[in-house]
Structure 1
C-alpha cells in the first residue's frame, strides 16, 4: 500500500486553473451531480443571450465546469468561445480560452499539446500586461514539468509565478504556489522543505479564512509525515483535515484513504477497514475513479492481513481493472503484489504467476519512467546552467566593452610603442619557432625509428606467443585423445572381467572348467588396470589441481568417488561411467548423490556444471 496512489495528483496541480476561473466569476461546485443541472442551464442560456460578451462568459463557465470531467467537451466549447473572442478581438478572452485548451490536454496527459497552449496563453497575458493571468500561466506550465519529472524547471516556473503573486499580495494564489512547491519537495523526498512550504501555505490559508484549503494542506502534511514513518504526527494532521472536511461537508476520499493506510501500518486493522470503507463509499458518490482504486487496494491489503484471501482477491481484481483502465502503474504494481500473495496462499499458482508477471511488467515500466524523469531533470539542469553561464558571459562581455572604451585613449598613445615592441618580439618568436621546428623534426624521426623497432619486436613476440599457443593446443588435443583411448581400454577391461564373472557362473552350473581361458581373461584384466593408473596420470596432466580442489572442498571423498568426478569432468554419460567403474547404472546415481552431499552442492545446480566450473 502507498500513502497516496499517484505521486502527482492532478487535483492539486490544477488549482491555479480553478482559481483563475474563480476570480473571473464566482462559482462554487460541490460535486459532479450538482454541476450537471447548472451546465444544462448554461447551455440552454446560450440560445437566449443576445450579446457575444454574455455568450462568451457562459462558455467560459461551461469550460471550467468540465475541467477534469470531459476534456473533449472543454475543447468543443472552447472552440466556440474562441470564434467569438477572435470576432471581438479580445486578447484577454483568447488567453483564457488557450488556458482551457491547455487544461483539456493536461487532463489527458498530453503534455506536449498542453504546453503549447499554456505557452500561447502566457505570451498573450504578458502582451497585455495581465499580472494575475501571467502568474497562472507560469504555474500551469510548472504543473506540466512536475508531471514530467522536471522538478528543477517546475520549481523555477512556480517561483516566477510566486514572485508576481507576492508583488500583488495575492495571498490566495501564494498559498497554492507554496502547496505546489511543497509537493515537489515531497516527490524529491526533501521532507523538511516540504513541511516548511506546507506550513507557509497553512498560515496563508488561515489568513484568508479558507478552511477548505487548510484541510487540503493538513492532508498533505499528514502524507509527508506518513512517508517519513512518523505515524503519530501523520494521524494528528489527517484527523485535523477530516474534522474540517466533515464540518464543511466536503467529500475528500484522500483523507479517508490515507487514514486507512496509516492505521494499517500501525496494525490497527479495524480502524483501517473502517476508513477504507468510508473512502470507497465517498469515491463512488462523487465518481472519483482514483479514490475508488486506492480504497479497493487498501481493502485488499486489509483482507490479506486478516487472511481473508477470497475477499482480498475480489477487491484486488476490481482495483486492478480500474488501474489498468486509467493506466495507473503504481496502483497496478501495488495490487499485483497483493494478488500474487493471495493466489500463492490459496495454491492458485497459475493465477499467481499471472499476477507476478504483471507485477514485474509494472515495476519495469515504473523504472523506465523514473529513468526518463531523471534524464529530463538532468537536461533541465543542464539548460538552466547553460542559460546562467550565458548570462554571466554576457555580463562579462558588457564589462569588457566598458573597460575597452576606458582604455581606448590610452591605447592610441601607446600604439606606436606597442607596434615596435611587437615587431621585436615577433622577430625573436620567428627565430625561436624555426629552431623549435628543426628540433621537432629530429625528434619526430627518432620517435618514428623507435616506433618501428617496437612494432617489429611486438610482432615477433606475438608470433612467438601464437606458435606457443598452437603447440599447447595440439598437446592438449593429443592428451584428450589419449584420455579417451585410456577410457576405452578401461571399458574393455570391465567387459573382460564381466566375461570372467559369466564363466564363473557357468562353472557353478555344469562344473566344467576352462582354466586356461579363465587365466587369460584375468591376466588381461590385470594388464588393463595398469592402463587405469596411466589414465589418471594423464588426466592430472590435462586438469592439474583438479583432485586437490575437490579435496579442498571435502576430504571425505573416496577414491572411487574421485574417479567418478574425473569421468564427469570428461563429460562421460552415466551409462559410460557405470561401464568404466564396473558398477550398475543405479549405483552410479547413488554415488553421484553422495558426492553432491559431500560437496554441499545446491539442489538447483547440476553436478556436471559444478565440476566443470572447478
Structure 2
C-alpha cells in the first residue's frame, strides 16, 4: 500500500482529495479513514495546500464526532502549519477550532480571544475571496456557539442573523440557498431554547430551502431534532418520536454525533411518559455510553487546554489557574466514579448473563415490532451494529424503509409475518423482496434470506 501511495502524482493526489471531500458529505467515518494516507502523500509531495486542507478536514471530523481532545491537538497542528506556510484562511480556521474547544470546556473569554484573532487574520485577506467570506461566517457561527455555551441564546441568534444578512451577497442561487439552509437550521436550534414557534418556523424553512443535490447532514439532524422537540412540547409523542428517529438515522448514516445525546434524553423522557420501559431503558443505556465517552474526551481536551495555556502564560501570573485546576479535578473525579459505576454494572451483567442471548434478544425485538415501536431499528442495530453500513456499502441508494425491511428478513420473518406486522398485503411484501433483490444485485439462484443473513 505504501509503495502504491508513493507513486501518486500531484494530480492524482488532488483527485483523491476531491473524491474524499465528496465522500465526507455522505459518510464522515469512511472519509476519515482515508485522511492519514492522503496526509502522508501531501507531505511526500510537499503539497502544503493539500496538507492544510486535510488537517482542516480532520478538525471538522473531530468536531462532528464531539472528540474535543483530538480536535485541539489537530487544530494546533493546523495552526503551526498554516503559520509556517503563511496561509491566512487556514490559520484563521485553526483559531476557530481552538476557540470551540475552549468554549466547550467553559472558558468563554479564551474562546473569544481566539475568535478575535481569527477575524483579524481574515481582515488581511481579499474581501472578494469566497473562502475568506466563508471563514468569516464560521467566526460568526462560533461566536453563536459560545453564546449558547454561556446560556445566552438571544445573543447567539443575533450572530446567525448577521450570517444570514451576509449571505445576500452570494450571487449563485444554489450556493446562496445552501448557505442559508445551514443558517436557518442553526437559528432553529438556537430558538428551540426559548421560542418554540420560531424554532419550528426556521427548521421548516431550512428544510424547504435545502438544495436537492445537498446530502442530509448535521443541519438536517438539527432540523428534525428541533421539530421533534416542538412536537414533544405539544405532547404529540408519535410525531416527536418519528422526527427524532429521522435525526438519528441521518446521524448514523452520516457519522455525525454532536447532538445525539440531546435526542437520546428526549426519547428516554417520552418513553418514560408513555410507560414503555424497554425503550426508556434502551435510551438510558445510550445516554450512559455517550456521556462516558464524551467525559473522557472532555477530560483529555481540558488537559490539553491547560498545557496550551501554561505555555502561553508560564512567565506571568494568571488567575486562570485558580479555577481551571479545580475544574479539571472535578471532571476527573466525575469520570472516575462514572467509569467505576459503569464497570460495576458491566460486571454484574456479566455475572448474570455471560453471553448475548440471541433467543432473548430476538424475543425483545419481536415485542418492539408488535408494538410498532420506532425504537426497533436502534435495538436491532445494537445487536447488529454494522448491518445498515454493510447494506449501504452494497447499494448507497437504499431508503431507510428498505433497510428496515431487510432487518425483518435478517430476523427470518416469513412473507405472511412481515405482512401482518407491517399491515400490508402479502403481494406487497413479495414486490418489496423483488425490489430489494434487484437493488442489492442478489442472484436469482440465491435465497434472499441466506444472502441477508450473511450481512
TM-score range, shorter chain: 0.5 to 0.7
Post-superposition shift, 1:48?
11
In structure 2, what is the Cα distance between the partners aligned to 1:93 and 1:225? Answer: 38
Offset from partner CA, 1:292-315 (integer Å, 9 cap, x none): 665454333222222333343344
In structure 2, what is the Cα distance between the partners aligned to 1:308 and 1:297? Answer: 14
Asked if the contact 2:271/2:277 (under 8 Å) is kept, the reply is yes
Offset from partner CA, 1:204-259 (integer Å, 9 cap, x none): 234325222322222222222222x3222222222222322486665222211122
- Higher helix proportion (structure 1 or 2): 1
In structure 2, what is the Cα distance between the partners aligned to 1:236 and 1:164? Answer: 36
Post-superposition shift, 1:62?
5.6
What corresponds to 1:243 in structure 2?
208
DSSP 3-state at the match of 2:14: helix
Paired residue total: 296
1:60 paired to 2:21? no
Change in 2 beyond 3 A, CA 1:199/1:56: same
What corresponds to 1:140 in structure 2?
97
DSSP 3-state at the match of 2:293: coil
What corresponds to 1:83 in structure 2?
44
What corresponds to 1:117 in structure 2?
77
What corresponds to 1:200 in structure 2?
162
Asked if the contact 2:187/2:202 (under 8 Å) is kept, the reply is yes
In structure 2, what is the Cα distance between the partners aligned to 1:320 and 1:243? Answer: 31
Asked if the contact 1:215/1:244 (under 8 Å) is kept, the reply is yes
Asked if the contact 1:78/1:100 (under 8 Å) is kept, the reply is no
In structure 2, what is the Cα distance between the partners aligned to 1:200 and 1:323? Answer: 33
Asked if the contact 1:172/1:205 (under 8 Å) is kept, the reply is no
Matches within 5 A, 1:47-196: 52-61=9-18, 64=21, 68-69=28-29, 71=32, 73-85=34-46, 90-96=47-53, 99=56, 108=67, 109-111=69-71, 113-126=73-86, 130-167=87-124, 168-169=126-127, 170-196=132-158
Larger radius of gyration: 1
Asked if the contact 1:206/1:214 (under 8 Å) is kept, the reply is no
DSSP 3-state at the match of 1:199: helix
DSSP 3-state at the match of 1:69: helix
Asked if the contact 2:13/2:38 (under 8 Å) is kept, the reply is no
Matches within 5 A, 1:215-364: 215-227=181-193, 229-245=194-210, 250-251=215-216, 252-288=220-256, 294-317=262-285, 319-320=286-287, 323=290, 327-328=293-294
Asked if the contact 2:82/2:88 (under 8 Å) is kept, the reply is no
In structure 2, what is the Cα distance between the partners aligned to 1:292 and 1:181? Answer: 22
Post-superposition shift, 1:184?
0.9
In structure 1, what is the Cα distance between the partners aligned to 2:48 and 2:117? Answer: 22
Post-superposition shift, 1:178?
0.9
What corresponds to 2:410 in structure 1?
none
Query: Unpaired runs of 5+ in structure 2?
Result: 319-455
Offset from partner CA, 1:76-124 (integer Å, 9 cap, x none): 3211221121xxxx55455445556666776653245324412322322
Asked if the contact 1:261/1:272 (under 8 Å) is kept, the reply is yes
DSSP 3-state at the match of 1:327: helix
Asked if the contact 2:225/2:247 (under 8 Å) is kept, the reply is yes
**TM-score, scaled to structure 1:** 0.41
Structure with more contact order per residue of length (Cα contacts < 8 Å, sep ≥ 6): 2
In structure 2, what is the Cα distance between the partners aligned to 1:249 and 1:58? Answer: 20
Structural RMSD (CA): 4.4
In structure 1, what is the Cα distance between the partners aligned to 2:200 and 2:317? Answer: 44
